[in-house]
Structure 1
Amino acid sequence: MVEKVKLALVSSSPRRREILQMAGFNFRVVKVSVEEELHPSSYKTATLNAEKKVLAAKEQLLPGEVALAADTIVVLGDEILGKPKNSQEARLYLKRLSGRWHKVITGFSLLINGRVVTDYEESLVKFKRLTPSEIEWYISTGEPLDKAGAYGIQGKGALFIERIDGDFFTVMGLPVSRIYDILTVELE
């Protein structure tokens, strides 16, 4: 089924491209520029931003193409930890995540035959307790600076993950199994 879907990925994330390639999807990347919003609800933040992206791509779609956009956020307590602005903010995020559980929410939106389907998946992640030298080393790699919550589970940040309760791919940025299920139902 995946090879039959003409997919337009509305994302510049190399991780999302990697997930779709691994799953066997045929897709092309569509670039849009939207202003992401913070909403009081972390779930609304992720889903509304994904929906804004997918709707912004509407005019770029080819006939029969399905647009897919996603937004991944890291939530510690009630606070959304976005992409750190600099090394100091990355250091603060990593210190706060150290030894604690947090949520990773990936909102996604599909534009299928003119209809928008939006949902989210959530996983819980527990960081091991980090030493100051581990935090400094990780920041020195540059990896934390372009990742929500200041870490990437698919990179060097994997060294710090003690446990996951939920879908790994949700944490990586695209709950591909859930998206596949929706496409299967919607495109039958």
Structure 2
Amino acid sequence: MTLWRGKDRLILASQSRARQMLLANAGIEFETVPAEIDERAAQQASGLSAPGDIAAFLAREKARFVSTRWPGRFVVGADQTLALGMRLFSKPAGRAQAAEQLRALAGNSHELHSGVAVARDGKILFEKVAIARMTMRRLTEAEIDAYLDEAGAAVTSSVGAYQLEGLGVHLFEYIEGDHFTILGLPLLPLLAFLRSERLIGV
């Protein structure tokens, strides 16, 4: 049973398991085609510095890149940035960098900017950026070590060294924003667009 009404399946230009899970749970038929672009080089070339602008730009670039290679198909691109004030974070390279990120975030509020875009034949048809504000509780060195021990290699797969849908939930005191935005895909506005194109049946 599927709610998808498109002639062809949607294409998700992302390898993110969280984004794939969100689409699958929503009953959307899709296939994954990663966008083979150098994100950091594209970001630097863009000259953008605001986290929301960067997320929107990279979401557009991913969607556009894949859509030019799959004619006639609707392609979803997505990206997420984490900002603590003016400081932008990238995925930690290892445990030491993950610990450093957690020390910086602990006791503070940071923002996740999640961008989504839909393209077809190289043309952007829809885009949206949503924001979640995350307040991490104060953490002792012992708590950081215990978390890193338990979370293992997973800490290097997410910016900020946490995955809220997993053990990362223990790090937080307060959250403002929807779950979809936190997982990196503003799902409700995306579904509204797909519905407007008569691609889903509800």
Q: TM-score, normalised by structure 2?
A: 0.85
- Structure 1 vs Structure 2: percent identity of aligned residues? 26
SS of equivalent residue, structure 1 residue 142: helix
- 1:4 corresponding residue in structure 2: 5
- 1:178 corresponding residue in structure 2: 189
- 1:69 corresponding residue in structure 2: 77
Any conservation in 1 of the 2:64–2:123 contact (CA below 8 Å)? Answer: no
Q: CA offsets per residue over residues 35-89 of structure 1, 9 Å max, x none?
A: 11153111111111111111110233264x3100100111101111111122221
- 1:53 corresponding residue in structure 2: 62
Q: Which amino acid aligns with 2:116?
A: F
- 1:22 corresponding residue in structure 2: 25
**Distance (whole Å) between structure 2 residues aligned to residue 16 and residue 111 of structure 1:** 17
Q: 1:169 aligns with which of 169, 175, 180?
A: 180
Q: CA offsets per residue over residues 60-119 of structure 1, 9 Å max, x none?
A: 3264x3100100111101111111122221111101111211100111110147531222
1:33-112 correspondence to structure 2 within 5 Å: 33-36=36-39, 37-38=43-44, 39-61=48-70, 63=72, 65-112=73-120
**Distance (whole Å) between structure 2 residues aligned to residue 147 and residue 14 of structure 1:** 11
SS of equivalent residue, structure 2 residue 163: coil
1:130-141 correspondence to structure 2 within 5 Å: 130-140=139-149, 141=152
Q: Which amino acid aligns with 1:124?
A: R
The CA deviation at 1:131 is: 2.0
- 1:147 corresponding residue in structure 2: 158
Q: Which amino acid aligns with 1:90?
A: A
The gaps in structure 2 that reach 5 residues or longer are none
Count, aligned residues: 187
Q: CA offsets per residue over residues 9-41 of structure 1, 9 Å max, x none?
A: 000111110111111111000122111115311
Q: TM-score, normalised by structure 1?
A: 0.91
Any conservation in 2 of the 1:124–1:166 contact (CA below 8 Å)? Answer: yes
Q: Which amino acid aligns with 1:134?
A: E
The gaps in structure 1 that reach 5 residues or longer are none
SS of equivalent residue, structure 2 residue 133: strand
Q: Which amino acid aligns with 2:187?
A: V
